[in-house]
Structure 1
Amino acid sequence: MTKFRFYGMPHSLYSGKARSYLIKQHVDFEELTAGHPRYGEKIMPAIHRWIIPVLETPDGEIVQDGTDIIDWFEKRGLARHSAYPESPRQRITSLIFEMFGGEGMVRPAMHYRWNFDETNLDFIEDQFGLFAMPSAPREKRLEIIRKSTGRMRAAAVMFGVVPETIPIIEEAYEELMGELNAHFSQTPYLLGGAPTIGDYGLIASLFAHLGRDPYPAQMMKRRAPALFRWTERMNAWGADMSEFLDYPEELLPGDEIPATLKTLLKRVASDYLPEIRAFTAFTNGWLAENPDLPANAPVGGEKLVRAIGKCSFEWRGKTFDVGVMPYRFYLLQRIQDAFNALADEDRKSVSALLEETGLSEIMTLRSNRRVGRKDNIEIWEG
């Protein structure tokens, strides 16, 4: 084996993050569906659950999780363009968008996939069946997939997508889409002429669900063409920014955070901080009720479930009930750890940006036990 093997699916939200990185870094890889026999023979015995994305290296090492896949290359100096900006404000900003893109945008992603059957359903059923069971006859694939879509729709409810909240979800996403479009009309990527970890976080929801499923993709093309071009750009081997004449393939100089990006940071504060706040309170209460969890205990228990319970929070005048997934603290800790590693003057500069955009609290919200990853699963650290 000379190539990397990447196990994912085009319609998988979390596959998009790692796939885009592999493409942009010019990694020699082949993509296999999780329906490939090798996944069951090689990957499942190693990671003990059905989950994507997964990377299998030429030496046989197995890495699960989009962030961990990216960091596997970064730590070995194999990145063509590092995902992590060196300048402090850009580094923290990109990490914030990694978390927001992958976790804070799941609600619109799930809503626009599962609540527009007239436009989406034929495409979704075909894609789920084709990539899960590529060798099965089409009619057999559809029969099996149609029996399992109820579970997938239930996942949308776990993220707070219910009839009472749908108008707010749509309102907020349309606002966000407009702000993203304004930003990508001015710059090819989040922070200039090269993608960062923030771009890779955002592409998760904005490609597989919102930029590929028929209904939201058409909406994005009509209302946010610059944003749609960015989703194409993030899946292109080259820079793919010819409409930006002579734009250099490098980040904005001087640790610049343009006004359009500050607007988006304010959006993270208004649309995602309430949920992080509720997650933190619930998790710390749950940990207080479970004081005897040993170090390195799996976050999801023996069944490796993602959620440890449900919490409620108020947003735009409505109550949202959502599953609490400690994996999000893994991403939140990355922001806080990067901030804590900065020199004093750099922390002051970042703090001023966070204060200006309403995100100061993101540095103080934390679980009383850190969430780590070991052997490709989330664990409670000691």
Structure 2
Amino acid sequence: MKVYGSRISYYTGKLEAYLRYKNIAYTALPTPYDKAEMLKEKVGAVQMPIVDDDGKWMSDTTPIIMHLETIHPDNPVLPQDPVVGFMAHLIEDYGDEWLWRSAMYYRWWYDYDRQLASNVLTDELTGHVKMPRWMRQRMIIRRQVRHYVKRDGVTDTTRQHIEQSYHNALAGMTAMLENRPFLLGNAPSLADYGMMGPMFRHYGQDPTPQEIMRNTAPAVFEWVARMWHAKNTHKPEFVTQVPDDAEPLLKEICETHLVQLAANAAAFAEDTERFDMTVQGCDYRDIAVSQYRVWCLEELRRRFNLLSPAQQDSVKNLLPHGQADILWNADVPAQSGFNSDNHLPFGKAINVFEGGLP
């Protein structure tokens, strides 16, 4: 298995942690941007990671993990209890799609972090570009700041809230890790892998958020290393009901990520390219609409609908926040038109935003 990504990539780190835990052999390689057309032909979009498994090309870490679970069923990462399993999917989606904003913000807003990341990406990804190295590095910085930061609603007005989102995630995880080595039991679950994306290769490695993590949430800092070194040598024992210590993190997910998914879906239904939203009293303006995130909401709603009526009631009791209605409200305009044939992780994938972001 060849995993094309980057050693500082959000989702590459998430997938690599899973592969290491499951003892699935792979070779990590930089994304070959000089072969972008070939990659688009294989998987539809150039993004990280892209996997070549002996000629079977895959993209999008969540479907990749779900597919590999069917091939490597020993020591599964999805809790058996349906309600706990649903919450694992919800936490994973939050780690994938909400914390992305603050992870990119810390990397590309602060000068020291920006210089470190741009140096790595310049050497990994732009060797085929015929221009001086300093020019390639400047090109990367301008592109990343424009697409990952400004295009996603980061301004001087929203910065404080974005930073607080990171602190809230650390506090929510700390509450859970005080009682267990992993979020939902004695072994990594899908929830852990969702949080590993931002917590490992971004917050855990970039200088500014790493210092915050070390000083304010050492339990999370320790968990990052534990996740990277996790061994599937014993049978996972996941909680059989969602623990009380998950309440702060679930509340944060409802007040942030589910608000974003609802506002994005409404804007997509109106066929607009930008939208505004208010999250925990902070006004975000002119955010790029994401078809992909409409599909993420559809997936959460689909998984909720697979639960029995009693299980659905349990989820509603665990999420007694108005923002959670988006998960079961019949009037939600969530029709992405993507992956309707359930082809992922094979076939055509799409970028988070139209126009492309790796």
TM-score, normalised by the number of residues in structure 2: 0.86
| Cross-structure match for 1:285 | 270
Corresponding position: 1:51 with 2:51: no
TM-score, normalised by the number of residues in structure 1: 0.81
Of 5, 23, 26, the residue aligned with 1:26 is: 23
Indicate if the aligned counterparts of 2:114 and 2:141 stay in contact, CA closer than 8 A.
Answer: no
Corresponding position: 1:110 with 2:107: no
**Structure 1: runs of 5+ lacking an equivalent:** 241-247, 287-307
Indicate if the aligned counterparts of 2:175 and 2:246 stay in contact, CA closer than 8 A.
Answer: no
**What is the distance in 2 between the residues matched to 1:66 and 1:14?**
7
**What is the distance in 2 between the residues matched to 1:258 and 1:358?**
21
Deviations along 1:314-372, one digit per CA (max 9) or x if unpaired, are 12333202111121232222222222222333222223222379634323345135432
Change (3 A) 1:125 1:239: same
Deviations along 1:152-184, one digit per CA (max 9) or x if unpaired, are 001211211111111121223223322222322
**What is the distance in 2 between the residues matched to 1:235 and 1:345?**
36
Q: Does 1 or 2 have the higher relative contact order (CA < 8 Å, sep 6+)?
A: 2
| Cross-structure match for 1:233 | 226
Of 67, 81, 102, the residue aligned with 1:72 is: 67
C-alpha displacement at 1:48, in angstroms?
Answer: 4.8
Indicate if the aligned counterparts of 1:25 and 1:79 stay in contact, CA closer than 8 A.
Answer: no
| Cross-structure match for 1:205 | 198
**Structure 2: runs of 5+ lacking an equivalent:** 352-358
**What is the distance in 1 between the residues matched to 2:98 and 2:157?**
19
C-alpha displacement at 1:52, in angstroms?
Answer: 1.6
| Cross-structure match for 1:186 | 179
| Cross-structure match for 1:291 | none
Corresponding position: 1:7 with 2:4: yes
Q: Any idea what SS the aligned residue of 1:355 has? A: coil
Of 256, 263, 266, the residue aligned with 1:271 is: 256
Indicate if the aligned counterparts of 2:22 and 2:232 stay in contact, CA closer than 8 A.
Answer: no
Indicate if the aligned counterparts of 1:26 and 1:237 stay in contact, CA closer than 8 A.
Answer: no
Indicate if the aligned counterparts of 1:336 and 1:363 stay in contact, CA closer than 8 A.
Answer: yes
Q: Any idea what SS the aligned residue of 2:154 has? A: coil
Q: Any idea what SS the aligned residue of 1:143 has? A: helix
**What is the distance in 2 between the residues matched to 1:206 and 1:378?**
24
Indicate if the aligned counterparts of 1:9 and 1:33 stay in contact, CA closer than 8 A.
Answer: yes
Indicate if the aligned counterparts of 1:266 and 1:357 stay in contact, CA closer than 8 A.
Answer: no
Change (3 A) 1:203 1:134: farther
| Cross-structure match for 1:300 | none
Change (3 A) 1:239 1:186: farther
| Cross-structure match for 1:355 | 320
| Cross-structure match for 1:92 | 86
Q: Any idea what SS the aligned residue of 2:242 has? A: coil
Q: Any idea what SS the aligned residue of 1:313 has? A: strand
**What is the distance in 2 between the residues matched to 1:144 and 1:17?**
27
**What is the distance in 2 between the residues matched to 1:158 and 1:174?**
22
Of 308, 312, 323, the residue aligned with 2:288 is: 323
Any runs of at least 4 consecutive aligned residues in structure 1 with deviations exceeding 6 A, and if so which?
A: 134-137
Indicate if the aligned counterparts of 1:10 and 1:16 stay in contact, CA closer than 8 A.
Answer: yes
**What is the distance in 1 between the residues matched to 2:322 and 2:242?**
11
**What is the distance in 1 between the residues matched to 2:129 and 2:139?**
16
Indicate if the aligned counterparts of 1:263 and 1:357 stay in contact, CA closer than 8 A.
Answer: no
Corresponding position: 1:346 with 2:311: yes
**What is the distance in 2 between the residues matched to 1:140 and 1:70?**
39
Indicate if the aligned counterparts of 2:294 and 2:335 stay in contact, CA closer than 8 A.
Answer: no
Change (3 A) 1:62 1:181: same
Q: Any idea what SS the aligned residue of 1:377 has? A: coil
Q: Identity rate of aligned residues, in percent?
A: 24
Mean alpha-carbon deviation: is it higher for 40-49 or for 119-128? 40-49
Change (3 A) 1:366 1:201: farther
**What is the distance in 1 between the residues matched to 2:192 and 2:333?**
24
Change (3 A) 1:369 1:147: closer
Q: Any idea what SS the aligned residue of 1:348 has? A: helix
**Root-mean-square deviation (CA), in Å?**
2.7
